[in-house]
Amino acid sequence: MTYILSDIHGECELFCRLLEKVGFSDEDTLISCGDMIEKGKHSVRLARLLFSMKNAVLLAGNHEYNFLKYYWSLMQKTEDYDEVLRKLRAYFPHDGDLLDWEAVDRFEALPYFYETEEFICVHAGVPLDSEGHILPLKGASPEQLVYDRNFKEPDILPKSEKCVFFGHTPTINLGFEPKIKSYLREGKRGYHVCDYHKIHLDTGTYFSGILGCFCVEDCRSFYVGK
Ligand SMILES: [Mn+2]
């Protein structure tokens, strides 16, 4: 099975409980749509756990991108790499001591989108043309993919055949419950992932205490709460 989630924000314990709940095994695939770090207290612990999972596809969100921009700015100012690592560790006030160069390199290698025949995963949104068709993601900048401000709006329904998974904004900010919000296509029943225009994954975990994931194969959502 393929499980997709987003915006875990350092909530390592909830994440582990969610994996337990779905019975996650080596034959399953996990896709995280960014913002694994910050807000919660276990950013680096969670990131290292995700980096250690062989069957995980991890994307960068705006929080990882901001961290990388800080890293790149430090590297321009000094060649003292020990000092750079000290400053990067201080970026994470709760568990920065767990940060090592391997983790930094893994952050830097994170892609900004993931695309299959049936769906697209991205942190904040995908570029659309004036008719609502998805433009090629290779042409999109990281900034557009991690900071998009419009894609979350309920009236923005991409017309392309693929379903778009995204997070970035808690669904509660749009007046919905702290659950995964799916947008079913007209006349479809929701048993196949392509029956959906888009699926908004951000349950606002840091605020709501609820973390959810969506299973691609059976289109079911799973949740754990604090
Ligand atoms: Mn975000």
Residue 221 included in any domain: yes
CA–centroid distance, 62 to ligand 1, in Å, is 5
Residue 218 included in any domain: yes
Task: Show Cβ contacts of residue 25 under 8 Å, excluding neighbours closer than 6 positions.
Answer: none
pLDDT of residue 218: 97
CA–centroid distance, 17 to ligand 1, in Å, is 22
The tally of CA atoms less than 13 A away on the side-chain side of residue 109 is 9
CA–centroid distance, 110 to ligand 1, in Å, is 15
Domain count, the chain: 1
CA–centroid distance, 54 to ligand 1, in Å, is 24
Residue 23 contacts residue 112 (beta carbons within 8 Å): no
Residue 90 included in any domain: no
Domain that holds residue 46: 2-68+112-225
The CATH number assigned to the domain holding 48 equals 3.60.21.10
Q: Which residues pair with 122 in a beta bridge?
A: 113
pLDDT of residue 49: 98
Tell me the CA distances in angstroms from 36 to 129, 130, 165, 168, 183, one per residue in order.
30, 32, 16, 11, 24
pLDDT of residue 21: 98
Residue with tokens 């055949």: 161
CA–centroid distance, 15 to ligand 1, in Å, is 17
Residue 28 included in any domain: yes
pLDDT of residue 62: 98
CA–centroid distance, 123 to ligand 1, in Å, is 7
pLDDT of residue 146: 98
CA–centroid distance, 167 to ligand 1, in Å, is 7
pLDDT tens digits in sequence order for the chain, 226 residues long: 999 999 999 999 999 999 999 999 999 999 999 999 999 999 999 999 999 999 999 999 999 999 999 999 999 999 999 999 999 999 999 999 999 999 999 999 999 999 999 999 999 999 999 999 999 999 999 999 999 999 999 999 999 999 999 999 999 999 999 999 999 999 999 999 999 999 999 999 999 999 999 999 999 999 999 8
Residue 152 included in any domain: yes
Residue 81 included in any domain: no
Residue 74 included in any domain: no
Residue 101 included in any domain: no
